[in-house]
Chains A and B, each alone.
Chain A
Amino acid sequence: MEIVAEYRDRMLVALVQEDRIDAASAIRFKDRMREIVQTSGGGADEPVVLDLSRVGFLDSSGLGAVVAVRKMLGPDRRLELASLTPNVLKVFRLTRMDSIFTLHEAVPAGICPAAPGDAAPGDAGMRDAG
């Protein structure tokens, strides 16, 4: 599973380079995302943004894999989704997973790691972002 990850504006942006996340690739997707998250460094509270702009097809196995990645990140690190194509967005809407995930029309310029007024401990010390 070809996924390219880079740090940008204190986010880990992961661009899926393949056009399908389905039953045939769901495990490879999860494995590759785990590898990216474990090896990419960065802050444990910095969000991960999954850029799905090149994914034209996602089935329930692929949806389950995205949920699994969200769980893998744990409660302190958010997984947000960007640039969903119409067929992928349809799956999130029909399963109401659009109420669980934050969906962005495009990869955002930056995501605050914590809500306003909810100062995260150690937030002043930026770690190797960028």
Chain B
Amino acid sequence: MQAEPPLHGPDPEARSPDSRAPDAAAPDIPGSDMPAPGPPALDMSAADLPCSDPVLIAIPADPDAVRAVLRALFGTRPLCALSDDIRGTAELVLAEALNNIVEHAYAGQQGEISIRLSLCSGDLVCRIEDSGLPMPQGAPPVTDLTLHGDDGDLREGGFGWHLIRTLSRDLEYRRCGGRNLLSFRLDAGQ
């Protein structure tokens, strides 16, 4: 068993905690933890797309860190240059994706979230990676917009994925090598 909390049960392919990048550096992930040869599904090295201004950042999985990184990302270039409307949408979708990882993938346990953002052809391309629990159905939940729960009471939750799905494009999720890989595109209005 690893020294870290058992987040998703024994996984023979899980890398040791020490091999994870401690901060925003782009980790040169060895192929040993990938189930198949070929490039990693979520290469954080920023060399795989012809896009400018890649931002690589890793944060601990807690709501204050999510808030802080959103403030930092959207308060500085290149994202601060987006229009208010587009920036607000992008910040909302990223907040939902990151907070979902904090609440459900890591479920209150410690962990790390890697974020890679790049501006490509008028899109903000977002890739988010974590080592928490997999999505329960192997995919992001398909949401409905029933405002009231089974008990007839007004719902207080479950709107996050609806917002992500409504506001993003090319949403993809994969479980690979004990990690969750989520990617999507947002309109950057360029």
A91 vs B160: C-alpha distance in the bound complex, in angstroms? 10
B169 interface contact, C-beta 8 A:
no
B-contact 0/1 string along A81-96, CB 8 Å cutoff: 0000011001100111
Interchain CB contact under 8 A, A87 and B92: yes
Interchain CB contact under 8 A, B160 and A22: no
Given contacts A63-B159, A91-B163, A94-B162, contact A70 B154 (CB under 8 A): yes
Number of interface residues of B (CB under 8 A): 29
A97 interface contact, C-beta 8 A:
yes
Partner of B84, one of A25, A86, A96, A99: A86
Interchain CB contact under 8 A, A67 and B67: no
CB distance from B87 to the nearest CB of A (A): 9
A40 interface contact, C-beta 8 A:
no
Partner of A24, one of B64, B84, B147: B64
- 26 interchain pairs, CB-CB under 8 A: A22-B63, A22-B99, A23-B66, A24-B64, A24-B66, A57-B95, A59-B160, A60-B99, A60-B159, A61-B99, A61-B157, A64-B156, A64-B157, A71-B153, A86-B88, A87-B84, A87-B85, A90-B88, A91-B92, A91-B163, A94-B162, A94-B167, A95-B145, A95-B162, A97-B147, A100-B147
Interchain CB contact under 8 A, B160 and A60: yes
Chain B hits for A86, CB < 8 A? 84-85, 88
A-contact 0/1 string along B143-170, CB 8 Å cutoff: 0010100000111111110110011000
A112 interface contact, C-beta 8 A:
no
- Chain B contact residues: over half helix, strand or loop, or mixed? helix
Partner of A57, one of B91, B157, B167: B91
Interchain CB contact under 8 A, B145 and A96: yes
Chain B hits for A87, CB < 8 A? 84-85, 88-89, 91-92
A67 vs B149: C-alpha distance in the bound complex, in angstroms? 13
B126 interface contact, C-beta 8 A:
no
Chain A hits for B102, CB < 8 A? 23
Partner of A95, one of B66, B95, B163: B163
Interchain CB contact under 8 A, A59 and B96: yes
CB distance from A52 to the nearest CB of B (A): 14
Chain B hits for A100, CB < 8 A? 147, 154
Within B78-109, the residues touching A (CB, 8 Å) are 84-85, 88-89, 91-92, 95-96, 99, 102-103
CB distance from B100 to the nearest CB of A (A): 9
Most-contacted residue by chain B among A23, A63, A91 (CB, 10 A): A23
